[in-house]
Structure 1
Amino acid sequence: MLAFLTLPALLVILGPVQAEPQKLRIGTGDWAPYVDHERSDGGALARLISAVFAEAGYEVEYIFHPWDRNVLMLQQGQLHAIMPYSCTPSRLNYGICSDTLVRGEIVLFHRRDQAFDWTTVEDLLNYRIGTTLGYSYGPAFDEALQAGRLDVQQSGKEDTSFRLLELGRVDLHPQDRAVGYAMLRRLFPKDGGNIIHHPRQLNTEPLRLLFRKDDPESVMLLRMFNAGLREFAKRGDLQRLQQALNTGDADDWKPSQSSPVARD
């Protein structure tokens, strides 16, 4: 009997066809509590970004790679966006930046038994510093690093510098404060290790979603994401997330849901 029915009649019988949400590929790295590959939801920022795009009808797949590889994949068009990144001048050569998701606070970690104080980057020249490839630590530090004025040991893995710091093979490790303590709790679950941070901030930087430059689809996605992000900000989600990050409660933070539109 179905062979003799027209398409409109079939649609009435079978019901409306549900369109599959378009999937977006977003590159990131393991950077708990912001992003965490061990969590099914991807971590706090992944929950936020997924919620923003979901309200626009998109589904997000997170691709975990080293930070410098994410940049290369974005430039080659293999990813729709990468996150979380600061919007440095060099990154504007290939990317366009979203509005601020949250603000990261970069501090210098050191051993508890090491007397350490600093005021400017000039005070860091005689220290051995562990850094991570693909990171930006702020204009002053990055400039000194590129000029070869700092004694730096770079690595591709997130936790390497903390392991070296605990062993006394480096003296300092610049890292986001929330990320640093989350990593220390994982590396040294009993006491967090013999590591603390200096209260002076090396840099405070808005963390953003970075889309590909000179790409029409990226421009569309950026505008759509920013509009959705502003709605979440109005609901207080971004303020609640920042507070959760500052207090170490980011794992329990969840984005709100939009109120359903009333229908007659």
Structure 2
Amino acid sequence: MRPLFSIMGTIILLLNSSFLLAQEDNKVIKIAAGEWPPFIGQELENFGQVGKTIQEVFAQQGYQVEFHFLPWKRAFSKTNDGEFVATAVWMYTEERAELFHYSDPVAQEQFVFFHLKDSPFEWQTLSDIQGSHLGGGLGYSYGEQLDSMIEKEQVTIHRVEGVQKAFQLLEYQRVDLFPEEKHIGLFYLDKMPIETQEKITYHPTPFLANDSYLMFSKNHPEADKLLNLFNQGLATLKEAH
């Protein structure tokens, strides 16, 4: 007969092994995200193009992604506090780089000026829009140069919550131009009444071509490890396509 303590030790060892295996099979990464359709969004299939990419990359590494959709400022602050390991998706700024590690680019955005078809619009440099009244989103950045023009009041901006509200400002001629990422603008414009869609177009030349990144919190203990895993998986995914 085997000693009782030996049998109990074997049982404990088996239980510990099973627990560790269960942990390995249930690796979950919590990511804070903002609504940015069609790139990423809570109601989109696979959480959108970028959401799908993020999930596929981490799945290659054996992780499951759990998105938490929050207002942009809250997603930023909670990730900065270390509550989430990363937040999706953001353009690069030096100020943010002081708080976060940036992944390799996961998408590219093209920002254009939407305008009324009855108000022809041409531009070559951003200085051409000086004096214009813009529509814009709360908390949005439009790139260093246009942000600087807004700060210096070379242009004015009426910020509202939501892309469709900004389009309404444009439709009712309360603003001259609406700077927005082309795919996002068209996504929301397509959901508006036909009469609104028929009034609005955009200038084809982007004023900003911008990469989007997953930002990893410098205050999260696993950020460095998961950043490296993500970049490796992203490179593999891009090679496969």
Instruction: Give the TM-score of the pair, scaled to structure 2.
Output: 0.86
One-letter code aligned to 1:120: T
Closer, same or farther in 2 for the Cα pair 1:28/1:214, shift >3 Å? closer
CA distance in 2 between partners of 1:79 and 1:216 (Å)? 10
Match of 2:177 in 1: 172
1:55 aligns with 2:60: yes
Deviation at 1:115, TM superposition (A): 1.5
* Identical aligned residues as a percent: 29
1:148 aligns with 2:153: yes
1:162 aligns with 2:172: no
One-letter code aligned to 1:58: Y
1:210 aligns with 2:215: yes
2:11 to 7, 15, 24: 7
Match of 1:195 in 2: 200
Deviation at 1:155, TM superposition (A): 2.1
CA distance in 2 between partners of 1:101 and 1:128 (Å)? 32
CA-to-aligned-CA distance 1:61-118 (integer Å, 9 cap, x gap): 2122222222112212222111121112222121111101121111111111111112
1:25 aligns with 2:30: yes
Deviation at 1:216, TM superposition (A): 4.2
CA-to-aligned-CA distance 1:15-72 (integer Å, 9 cap, x gap): x954342222212222221012212521111011011111212111212222222211
1:232 to 230, 237, 241: 237
Provide runs of 4+ in structure 1 moved above 6 Å.
8-11
Match of 1:89 in 2: 94
CA-to-aligned-CA distance 1:218-239 (integer Å, 9 cap, x gap): 1111111000000001101xxx
CA distance in 2 between partners of 1:74 and 1:44 (Å)? 22
Q: Is the 8 A contact 2:81 2:219 kept in 1?
A: no
Aligned length: 231
Closer, same or farther in 2 for the Cα pair 1:193/1:221, shift >3 Å? farther
CA-to-aligned-CA distance 1:100-142 (integer Å, 9 cap, x gap): 1121111111111111112222222222101112322122101
Q: Is the 8 A contact 2:82 2:220 kept in 1?
A: no
One-letter code aligned to 2:230: F
RMSD in angstroms over aligned alpha carbons?
A: 2.5
- Does the residue aligned with 1:162 lie in a helix, a strand or coil? helix
- Does the residue aligned with 1:71 lie in a helix, a strand or coil? helix
One-letter code aligned to 1:227: Q
Deviates more, 1:102-111 or 1:126-135: 126-135
CA distance in 1 between partners of 2:49 and 2:39 (Å)? 5
Deviates more, 1:211-220 or 1:40-49: 211-220
Deviates more, 1:219-228 or 1:74-83: 74-83
One-letter code aligned to 1:31: W
Q: Is the 8 A contact 1:184 1:193 kept in 2?
A: no
Deviation at 1:187, TM superposition (A): 2.3
Structure having the higher helix fraction is: 2
Match of 2:119 in 1: 114
> Which runs of 5 or more residues in structure 1 are unaligned?
237-264
CA distance in 2 between partners of 1:191 and 1:122 (Å)? 29
Match of 1:257 in 2: none
CA-to-aligned-CA distance 1:180-231 (integer Å, 9 cap, x gap): 1111112236773411111221100111111113644211111110000000
Which structure: larger Rg?
2
CA-to-aligned-CA distance 1:232-255 (integer Å, 9 cap, x gap): 01101xxxxxxxxxxxxxxxxxxx
Closer, same or farther in 2 for the Cα pair 1:128/1:216, shift >3 Å? same
Deviation at 1:147, TM superposition (A): 2.3
2:75 to 57, 70, 78: 70
One-letter code aligned to 1:7: I
Deviates more, 1:201-210 or 1:121-130: 121-130
